[in-house]
Chains A and B, each alone.
Chain A
């Protein structure tokens, strides 16, 4: 089991090799990649930053929880920081187990928890030269450095995150102080 924040490309093949051995009949890979459109706006790059020490702590906790819940100890989570171009891999979760169900379940658990609680942020760069912070749960931009618009606008658009296309709208209520006693 290993977690890491990295400032380089994520080597997916190396991660698969790291977790797999002859006891494992199943390996699962989740990759989050920089998508070209978010909320109807053309994205050119995403800049990832983190509260590094706490992010590592939360990622390690998630890996431990996945091991406890699904018996998957062969698990690696890497999240990349810095500015990523379209298509680049921002996060990888790789799990291996003798059987597929625990490998799939542990992988899904890890990525969902990472998106819910690991303190990482993304500053989206748009084709028109503006940049905005993206808030998880809503997919809507928040007040940013280079765009005068404030949050709370009435734009509709999709509610998915900008990376892997999973809708996170139903999770927005989890981003509140009371969720983490």
Chain B
């Protein structure tokens, strides 16, 4: 299955891109997405437990994916 991973701010800088398509085995979770990202160039700069969202809603590391989702890895927010 495929998911679209969005990266923002410092995380986009770390991996040098703001969007990545990932092919993952069925039943993969957010934790698997983060593990894949961590193995990519610059991925070591992501924290082990960043905020994440699935289709614009905050999710947990255990959240399962079905394919087709938009997964956002969200740096500490700093609005205001």
Q: Which positions 127-181 of chain A face chain B at CB distance < 8 Å? A: 133-138, 142-145, 150, 161, 163-164, 175-181
- Tell me the dominant secondary structure on chain B's binding face: mixed
Chain B residues with CB under 8 A of A54: 53, 56-57, 72
Q: Is the CB of B76 within 8 A of A91?
A: no
Q: Is the CB of A91 within 8 A of B10?
A: no
How far, in angstroms, from A153 to B30 measured CA to CA in the complex?
28
A79 within 8 A of B: yes
| Count: A-B pairs, CB below 8 Å | 108
Interface 0/1 of B1-38, CB less than 8 Å to A:
00000101110011000000000000000100000000
What is the minimal beta-carbon distance from A114 to any residue of chain B, in angstroms? 5
B66 within 8 A of A: no
Closest 9 CB pairs of A and B: A180-B58, A120-B79, A135-B76, A121-B9, A54-B56, A133-B10, A136-B78, A142-B10, A115-B80
Residue total for B at the interface (Cβ-Cβ under 8 A) = 27
Q: A54-B72, A143-B10, A144-B13 are in contact. Are A121 and B59 (CB under 8 A)?
A: no
Chain A residues with CB under 8 A of B6: 51
Q: Is the CB of A51 within 8 A of B74?
A: yes
